[in-house]
Structure 1
Amino acid sequence: MTDFWLPHLAFALLVFLILTRLTRNTTQRGILLAGSLLLSLVPVQGISLALQLRTYIGDLSVASLVLLGWATLSRFGVPPASAGDRLASLALFAGLAVLLYPAALGLSYADPYQLGFEPRPMLMVLGLLCVVLIVQRSWLGALALVLATLAFALRLGASENYWDYLIDPYLALYSLGALLLAGGR
């Protein structure tokens, strides 16, 4: 059942963040967010818009949803993540992308994706990374790791692989691109 509502949440947050510049106050933003959620439920050819989008882009990771959720909350007045917090989170997800995606593209003989099916060693390493993020006061990255791990433990998504809860191609591209831009500055 939860693999049904996660695409609706992703759709609503994406539409909201794309259209939020058209609003002027929090009341309009609230209406836009509610409208985005309702729009995700609109059926087209027998399937909702959110599930249609899912067929094209796949599922977003829980970490992506946490970052989208944080961006959404910041539009409602919650303070945005600090520059250091944002940089640490981007570095974490860029590092995970560099670890996972070259092997997924056939550029390596190692198969880190296989580790996601029995992730005990991964959980220990990422638990230590989470502690480091908390010590550095990088709450956004720590929250993304904790919620992705919790979602995996509760099997809230359709996948049985821990990697799918941690990172997706869009988060990988965003993290790598944003780090390159930050490095260029």
Structure 2
Amino acid sequence: MTAIHDVLAWALALSLCVPGLRGRPLLALIALAVWAALLNVPLVGISPIAVLRGLFAEPAPTTTLVLAGLLLARTGCSCVFRAGEARAIAVLAAVTGLLFYPPALGVGATDPYAWGYGGAVLPLAAGGLALVAALLGARLLPLALGVALVSWRLGVFDSPNLWDYLIDPLFSIGCLIALVVGVFRPRRARRDQSDLRYAA
């Protein structure tokens, strides 16, 4: 199960890098299948997915679901995210990563990673967030959080820590980069338009 999940998550992430997917779900499906196959092809005696497993933490199920939603949205499916939901997820993941990972790595006296091993606070917080998101009309966020909680409860993956089902560092970093790019892109577009008007 873990191996399949890893391949799917990375294949989804790589498929999002393929150009020309808008309005072409079949091409997206082909790209996903090709990447999944290539990730399992041994190179110099070891497959790319094995290297990725050794270098990075296992993707969280929330990450996989969000990547799947982004790929569907890229192909033109408007039913995955409510308006503004993708940005809200990016903000939530980036802020959570900034608040969580430095203390988890030893910055400060509190280790929030320990909260994921037991107790009711973190599961209740995640469940409460999923409920609030659903009441506000969000679509993918409550689903992703619900799947993460159920997967953790059933012990689907190797880690017993709930945090590993909710978030992973690469997803947090990716969301942070996407938000920064999103801030500067409109400014660049406005500057380019001004340059064009000046040149005219």
Report TM bin, short chain.
Answer: 0.7 to 0.9
Conservation of the 8 A alpha-carbon contact between 2:12 and 2:71: yes
How far apart are the structure 2 equivalents of 1:12 and 1:175? 18
Conservation of the 8 A alpha-carbon contact between 2:62 and 2:165: yes
Q: For residue 147 of structure 1, what is the aligned residue in structure 2?
A: 147
Q: Which moved more, 1:37-46 or 1:100-109?
A: 37-46
Q: Secondary structure at the match of 2:109?
A: coil
Runs of 4+ in 1 over 6 A off after TM superposition: none
Conservation of the 8 A alpha-carbon contact between 1:20 and 1:29: no
Conservation of the 8 A alpha-carbon contact between 1:63 and 1:166: yes
Following superposition, the deviation at residue 117 of structure 1 comes to: 0.8
Q: Deviations over 1:132-181 (max 9, x none)?
A: 11111122221221111122122222211111111111222233344455
How far apart are the structure 1 equivalents of 2:102 and 2:22? 40
Query: What is the count of residue pairs matched by the alignment?
Result: 184
1:50-129 mapped onto 2 (5 Å cutoff): 50-79=49-78, 81-129=81-129
Q: For residue 167 of structure 1, what is the aligned residue in structure 2?
A: 167
1:25-44 mapped onto 2 (5 Å cutoff): 25-44=24-43
How far apart are the structure 2 equivalents of 1:25 and 1:78? 10
Following superposition, the deviation at residue 87 of structure 1 comes to: 3.0
Following superposition, the deviation at residue 20 of structure 1 comes to: 4.3
How far apart are the structure 1 equivalents of 2:22 and 2:12? 15
How far apart are the structure 1 equivalents of 2:73 and 2:61? 18
The runs of 5 or more residues in structure 2 that have no matched partner are 187-200
CA 1:115–1:175 in 2, change beyond 3 Å: closer, same or farther?
same
TM-score normalized with structure 1 length? 0.85
What amino acid sits opposite 1:88 in the alignment?
A: A
Following superposition, the deviation at residue 129 of structure 1 comes to: 1.1
In terms of Rg, which structure is larger? 2
TM-score normalized with structure 2 length? 0.79
Identity rate, percent = 31
CA 1:157–1:46 in 2, change beyond 3 Å: closer, same or farther?
farther
Conservation of the 8 A alpha-carbon contact between 1:88 and 1:138: no
Q: Deviations over 1:82-121 (max 9, x none)?
A: 4421233223323422331121232210111001111421
CA 1:11–1:132 in 2, change beyond 3 Å: closer, same or farther?
same
The CA RMSD over aligned residues, in Å, is 2.4
Q: For residue 137 of structure 2, what is the aligned residue in structure 1?
A: 137
How far apart are the structure 2 equivalents of 1:64 and 1:155? 17
Q: Secondary structure at the match of 1:44?
A: coil
Following superposition, the deviation at residue 78 of structure 1 comes to: 1.8
Q: Secondary structure at the match of 1:7?
A: helix
Q: For residue 11 of structure 2, what is the aligned residue in structure 1?
A: 12
